[in-house]
Amino acid sequence: MGSGMTRNLQKAGFSLVVNDIRREAADELVAGGARWADTPAEVAAASDLVITMLPTPKHVHDVMNGQAGVLAGMVPTGTWIDMSTSVPEVADEVRKSNPGLHVLDAPVSGMSVGAANGTLQIFIGGDLDDVKRLRPVFNAMGEEERILHVGGHGAGYTVKLMLNQLWFSHLVATAEVLAIGVKAGVDLGVLRNALVNSPAQSNFVERDVLSILDHGDYDEGFAIALACKDLGLATDLAASVGVPAELSALVEQIFRRARASYGDRAGEMTPVKLYEDLIGVDLRL
């Protein structure tokens, strides 16, 4: 995700200073004019704005803190945008210890294809003035009409977790329905068309599942290990606010079973394959 987003920032004319745990991941950006920095602190020292896009809240915490962390190099009135799918606690800690810092949480939706094409949906939490000031940055990575200021600090993280929670639930429900229908003898194309033209219609049934039905693509651009992480964060959030999340917990179990069966790097849509293997049929149009 981060590589596509960064390439679009570069195409939009922003001067970049970059760092990654794998230096080779930045080779194309450096060849295009970006400057490599050996540490996050060096990135911050050379930048007016720091953007992080990282796998887990722990990664965000570690990159921000420590002698080589972002905060060690950032000026007291600098700007940090965290675009990771994370939780508010890490950013809250940063804001409390650095009261002059401008902080936005801005996780994204749109898969790796959206990151590459600059068509991401972005959910921004934080001060409206900062959102307005940084609009050109967001516009370089996402579709302008789908870049949403969703509330104060932490709201972006929450909206993204709820979106993921619902999308993963759609995935499991769709896989189950298609597997049952096909096993019962209904043609897959007929069944899907009936669903698309019914009250059970959803964006997942109409569009997203086609990557599997047409191409056998389980979206390896986003690993199932990360999907399991996101589901865990969503159920943790539900517990923290006292809302039962029985369905989401079951969906999380199914995703974890798929991860155990096919490996951490399998695509986020691999739970569909669990159902395909159960019925002995690949769901293809």
For 186-204, the pLDDT digits (tens) are 999 999 999 999 999 999 9
Contact 196, 206 (CB under 8 A): yes
Contact 134, 49 (CB under 8 A): yes
Indicate if the pLDDT at residue 271 is higher than 90: yes
Contact 100, 77 (CB under 8 A): yes
Question: What is the model's pTM?
Answer: 0.91
Q: How far apart are CA 102 and CA 36, in angstroms?
A: 24
**Segment 36-44 mean pLDDT:** 96
Q: Which of 58, 160, 183, 273 is catalytic?
A: 160
Indicate if the pLDDT at residue 35 is higher than 90: yes
Q: Which of 29-38, 181-190, 219-228 is modeled with the greatest confidence? A: 181-190
| Each residue's pLDDT tens digit, 101-119 | 999 999 999 877 888 888 8
Active site residue 58: no
Domains of the chain: 2-152 (3.40.50.720), 158-279 (1.10.1040.10)
